[in-house]
Each structure stands twice: as structure tokens, then as C-alpha cells.
């Protein structure tokens, strides 16, 4: 493979990667803003883990998909659920005890020494943890939810794409000039 061909392949690869990053960032930011929080994909909500209460099962800064449930009274001891507290805080903890025929649950974070103070009512359950955790992406998602983060995550890939396009156009003009000089060497 010649040097020009290798550069062309690398050039196309860089363009593709920048474009994909820009589209993914745009999709994440728009879906996050449209949902008023974490994005929702095919019935799964992506939640950011901001505390270490479930470590080592779920690391701080991870994102986790949770599945919305039809019957919030169907959980059993050992299931991990995400629920909303009276203070409108989302918490993901493990069920340690089922009370009142499944209408109330006692929960505890895996890293916590004691169970949570308040029992969880079934109607406050947002969804069930799917067992998947993607470390560190939660920090990016949390940053993307801020106004500065959304702007920055859209602007940076866009600027790189514009700069790259400018360099590509400049190279094309240079090659055209070079070709003209080879065809008409007396034009200088």
C-alpha cells in the first residue's frame, strides 16, 4: 500500500470517527434534555450512579440500565431496584426483606452496614437493575446534563470536524494547484 493510500484510509477513518462521536454526543444530549434526565432506550432508562452505596456491585460514576416494571409488587429478596424517595432522590439498593405482600420493601446498599431507614413502597419503584454496569460513563452523563457540559460536548467534536474539513479542503486545493503546474509548467 502506498503512502498516499494509507493517508487516505487514515483520513477517512478520522472523519468517520469524528462524525460518529458528534452524532452520538448529539443524540445523548438531545435525548437527555428531552427526557428531563437520563435517556430512555427501548424501555430501559440509563441512570447515573453517584454514590458508593452499592460498591463493589456497582461502582460510583457508572451508568446502569434499569428496566421499567409492570408489577412493582413482584420483587423478591435479593433483587436490586431503583426507587424514588420522598425527597425525589433516586436510589438503587438491594431488597433485603419483603413486607405486606410485596407492597413494601426493606432495602440496603451492598456497601452499607445497616438497612435503609424508610421502607420502600411498591408505587415508588422506578425500575429493576438489569445487572449491567458501565464504569465511569456516568461522570460524562452527569457533565452532559449541565448546560456547560452539553454545549462543550457538542462544540468540541464539531470544531474538530470543521478544522479537519478545512485541512482536507486546503489539501485538495494544493493538489489541484500541483496538478495544474504539472500540466502547464510555464504558468509561473
Q: Catalytic amino acids?
A: 51
Ramachandran angles phi, psi of 81, nearest 5°: -125, 160
- Please state, in angstroms and as integers, the Cα–Cα distance from residue 134 to each residue in 46, 130, 138, following that order: 10, 12, 8
Helix (H, G, I), strand (E, B) or coil at 44: strand
Helices vs strands, H then E, count in the chain: 3, 8
Q: What are the cell numbers at 104?
A: 413494601
Give the whole-angstrom CA distance, residue 104 versus residue 123.
9
Q: DSSP of 6-31, one letter per residue?
A: HHHHHHHHHHHHHHHHHHHHHHHHHH
Amino acid at each position: 500500500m502506498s503512502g498516499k493510500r494509507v493517508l487516505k484510509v487514515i483520513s477517512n477513518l478520522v472523519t468517520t470517527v469524528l462524525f460518529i462521536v458528534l452524532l452520538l454526543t448529539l443524540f445523548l444530549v438531545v435525548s437527555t434534555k428531552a427526557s428531563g434526565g437520563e435517556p430512555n432506550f427501548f424501555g430501559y432508562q440509563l441512570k447515573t450512579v453517584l454514590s458508593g452505596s452499592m460498591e463493589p456491585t456497582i461502582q460510583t460514576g457508572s451508568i446502569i440500565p434499569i428496566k421499567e416494571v409492570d408489577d412493582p409488587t413482584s420483587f423478591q429478596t435479593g433483587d436490586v431496584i431503583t426507587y424514588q424517595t420522598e425527597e425525589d432522590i433516586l436510589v438503587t439498593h438491594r431488597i433485603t426483606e419483603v413486607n405486606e405482600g410485596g407492597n413494601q420493601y426493606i432495602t440496603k446498599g451492598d456497601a452499607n452496614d445497616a438497612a435503609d431507614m424508610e421502607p420502600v413502597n411498591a408505587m415508588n419503584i422506578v425500575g429493576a437493575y438489569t445487572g449491567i454496569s458501565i464504569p465511569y460513563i456516568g461522570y460524562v452523563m452527569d457533565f452532559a446534563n449541565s448546560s456547560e457540559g452539553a454545549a462543550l460536548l457538542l462544540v468540541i467534536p464539531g470544531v474538530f470536524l470543521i478544522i479537519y474539513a478545512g485541512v482536507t479542503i486546503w489539501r485538495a486545493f494544493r493538489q489541484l494547484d500541483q496538478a495544474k503546474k504539472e500540466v502547464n509548467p510555464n504558468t509561473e
